[in-house]
Structure 1
C-alpha cells in the first residue's frame, strides 16, 4: 500500500484530526478519555489503523464511524496490531473515517492504555477542517456512556457496556456540528465519589491532560502533563456532576487507608441532608466554577444535571447563584436534563440509548441559543 505514515506528522499537516485531550509531545498518540480518537478524510479502497492496547483488567473498546455512521465496534486485544477500517470501497470518493474510544479513562487499572501508531491505505489523505464550535463535557458514569449499550438486565461492571457514540455528549456535538471533548469517570463527583471517597473528584485533576490516571506508564504517556488550554478553547463547558455526591449521603463511610480519617456525607434523622455537608458540596461547586473560568475565560459554563434524579438540584442552583453574585460572571447557568424512566433505562440501571438521545435533544436546543449570542 502506498500510504503508511505516523499520525503525528499527519496531524501537523492538518491531515488527521486528533480528538480528546492528549499530550502534544507524545508520539505515538495515546487516547485517554471517552470519545477521544482520530479522524481522517481519505480516498482509496481500503484503510487500516495500527493500534497498541494493554490492560490488566479493563480492556479498551472502539467504534469505527464511516461518513458519520457507526459501522463497527470491537475490543482491542493486548499488543500491537493493524485494524481494518474499511475495504473494497470506491477508490475515488472521499471517505470520512473516525475511530472513537468507547471506554473511559480507567483510574482503577494503571496498565490500561490505547495508543494509535499510524495509518496505511492505498489512497490519499485530505485535510480535516475544524467544526464551527467546540464543546467540553465533564461528568461521571452518565457522561462516560456507561449502560448506554447492552441489555437492560446487565449488571457486570465491564468495559463492553460503555459507549462514546451512543452518548449524549457525542449526540449533542453532532446536533450542533461541533468538535467535543469528554472528561468523565464513573462513580466520581465534584466533591466526593458515590462511596464518600474525597479523592475521587473531577476538579482535582482538571488542569492535567488526564490527571485521574495513575502509574508510571500513564505518566510516561503524558497523562500528568499540564493541559494546554490555549491550544483548544471550548465555546461551552457542560458540567454534569452531582449524582454521585448525592449518592454518598446514602452510602457507607469511607476510611482513608493512609491516615485512618473517616469521610461521610451525613443525613439528618428525618432523612434530609446535613446542612454542613450540603454547604461543603455547594462550596465545591463554586470552587470548580472558579477553576473552569480561569482556564476557559470566554466559554459559557452550563451545569447540566438530572438524568438520574434531582436530589442535588436545589444545592446546585444555590451554588451557581452564589458564584454569579460573588463574581459577576453572567455566562454561567443551570440546565435540567430529562430524567431517565422505565422506558429509557439501559444496562446497569443507567441511562440507555433513548435517555441519551432525549438528553441530547434538550441540551443541544439550549446550547444552540447560547452559541448564537
Structure 2
C-alpha cells in the first residue's frame, strides 16, 4: 500500500466524515470502521479529482479482498496484504463531477481465521464529500457458501479453499439488490446450515448467531471490536429477508457423524437403508426452520420473509414447505413464502463445484422478479 501521496490533499478520519454510508452490520465505533460480513461496504459521494482511503488489513491465513465500484460499475478487485496504508481509489478525474464510490468487502466473515480483519481509518481528497443517495428498499440475505459467493469467480478447475474464489459482486445478492435499487446486507458462512454444518457439527448453524453483530467470529480481538455484541435491529429494518439455507443440512445427511471433542457427544443426521431421510432427523431440521422463522419475525416485524432454495439441488424442499406451512398455521404469519431457485448446471457451474456467475445471474433474475411483486 502506498506511502507517498499528494500532500495538498485533505485528510479526514472516518469518524469526522459527515456523509459516510456504511453497508453491512458493524458496531457504532467509527475510529476506525470495521467491516465484518461479505458485501459490507463504505460508500462515499466525492466531488473531486482524487480519492485515497487508509485501510488496515490483517490475517493469519485467510486474507481480505476488496472490490471497488465507481458510479455503479466494478473497476478493481484486489487482495489486501497485512498492514495499514493508503490505497488510491481514483485520481486525475474531472474535479467537478460527483463520483459515487463503494469499497466492498469481497469475502465472508472468516470464522476459521480469528486474525482476519478489514478496517477503514480515513480518506484523503482534494474535493468534498456529499450525501449518498438513500435507496428506496432494504433487503437482508442469509445463507451459506452460495450467499458468500464461494466459487462465483475463478475457473471450474479451481479446488483450493482460498479467499480468491469468493466474490460479493459475481453474486445473486449484489445482482438482485442492484436490479431492485435496494440497499442490502448479507449474513452468510460457508458450510453452515439451519440445524448444523455439512459435517453434522451443530455449532455450525446461522440462527444461533443471527442476533449478534457477527457472533460466529472467534478470537479476543473480534470480541474487543464488538463482533459478539447484540445487534441493534432498530438501526436497519429490511423490507424483505431472503433465507437461502438448506444445502449444508442436506449435506449432513450424506456425511459421517461429528463427535464433539469436549463432551464426546456424537451428532448425525441419518438416512434410511433405502436412501430416504430418517423421519425423526428430518423433523429436527423442520423444527430448526420453524424456530429460525420465529426469530426472524421477532427481529424484523414488518419484513416479508422469502425462503429461497435450490441452487445446489432441492432435496430438502418438501421439508422446507412443511416447516414454513406449519409455522404459518401456528402463528398466522402470512408474510412468509418459498421460492425455488434455478439449479446449477454444468454450464453455469463455477469454481469449487459451486454456482458460477451465470448461475448467480439466473437466480438473481428469478428472485428479482419475485421480490418486485412483493414490494409492489
- Alpha-carbon offset, residue 174 of structure 1: 0.2
Conservation of the 8 A alpha-carbon contact between 1:299 and 1:331? yes
Q: Distance in 2 between matches of 1:3 and 1:68?
A: 25
Q: Secondary structure at the match of 2:334?
A: coil
- Alpha-carbon offset, residue 37 of structure 1: 1.1
Instruction: Quote the residue 1:204 is aligned against.
Output: 208
Range with bigger deviation, 121-130 or 230-239: 121-130
- Alpha-carbon offset, residue 179 of structure 1: 0.2
Instruction: Quote the residue 2:5 is aligned against.
Output: none
Instruction: Quote the residue 2:3 is aligned against.
Output: none
Q: Distance in 2 between matches of 1:217 and 1:311?
A: 40
Instruction: Quote the residue 1:18 is aligned against.
Output: 22
Q: Distance in 2 between matches of 1:280 and 1:130?
A: 41
Q: Secondary structure at the match of 1:90?
A: coil
Q: Distance in 2 between matches of 1:8 and 1:219?
A: 21
The reply to whether residue 307 of structure 1 matches residue 307 of structure 2 is no
Match of 1:135 among 131, 135, 139: 139
- Alpha-carbon offset, residue 76 of structure 1: 0.6
Instruction: Quote the residue 2:237 is aligned against.
Output: 233
Alpha-carbon RMSD across the aligned residues, in angstroms, is: 0.7
Instruction: Quote the residue 2:271 is aligned against.
Output: 267
The reply to whether residue 36 of structure 1 matches residue 36 of structure 2 is no
- Alpha-carbon offset, residue 3 of structure 1: 2.8
Match of 1:147 among 148, 151, 157: 151
What is the TM-score with the length of structure 1 in the denominator? 0.98
Conservation of the 8 A alpha-carbon contact between 2:145 and 2:190? yes
Instruction: Quote the residue 1:169 is aligned against.
Output: 173
The reply to whether residue 3 of structure 1 matches residue 10 of structure 2 is yes
The reply to whether residue 105 of structure 1 matches residue 112 of structure 2 is no
Which whole-Å deviations, capped at 9, do the CAs of 1:70-90 have from their partners, x for residues lacking one?
110000100101111111111
Conservation of the 8 A alpha-carbon contact between 1:190 and 1:241? yes
The reply to whether residue 355 of structure 1 matches residue 359 of structure 2 is yes
Instruction: Quote the residue 2:76 is aligned against.
Output: 72
Match of 1:284 among 267, 285, 288: 288
Conservation of the 8 A alpha-carbon contact between 1:3 and 1:124? no
Which whole-Å deviations, capped at 9, do the CAs of 1:262-295 have from their partners, x for residues lacking one?
0000000000000000000000000000000000
Q: Distance in 2 between matches of 1:64 and 1:197?
A: 36
Which whole-Å deviations, capped at 9, do the CAs of 1:307-361 have from their partners, x for residues lacking one?
0001110000000000000000000000001111011000000000000111101
> After TM superposition, which residue ranges in structure 1, 4 or more long, deviate above 2 angstroms?
none
Instruction: Quote the residue 2:66 is aligned against.
Output: 62
Match of 1:295 among 296, 299, 302: 299
Q: Distance in 2 between matches of 1:65 and 1:146?
A: 20
Q: Distance in 1 between matches of 2:360 and 2:15?
A: 33
Instruction: Quote the residue 1:254 is aligned against.
Output: 258
Q: Distance in 2 between matches of 1:140 and 1:315?
A: 18
- Alpha-carbon offset, residue 129 of structure 1: 2.4
Q: Count how many residue pairs are aligned between Structure 1 and Structure 2.
A: 369
Which whole-Å deviations, capped at 9, do the CAs of 1:121-161 have from their partners, x for residues lacking one?
11110101220000000000000000010011000000000
Q: Distance in 2 between matches of 1:9 and 1:255?
A: 50
Match of 1:242 among 236, 240, 246: 246
What is the TM-score with the length of structure 2 in the denominator? 0.97
Q: Distance in 2 between matches of 1:81 and 1:25?
A: 20
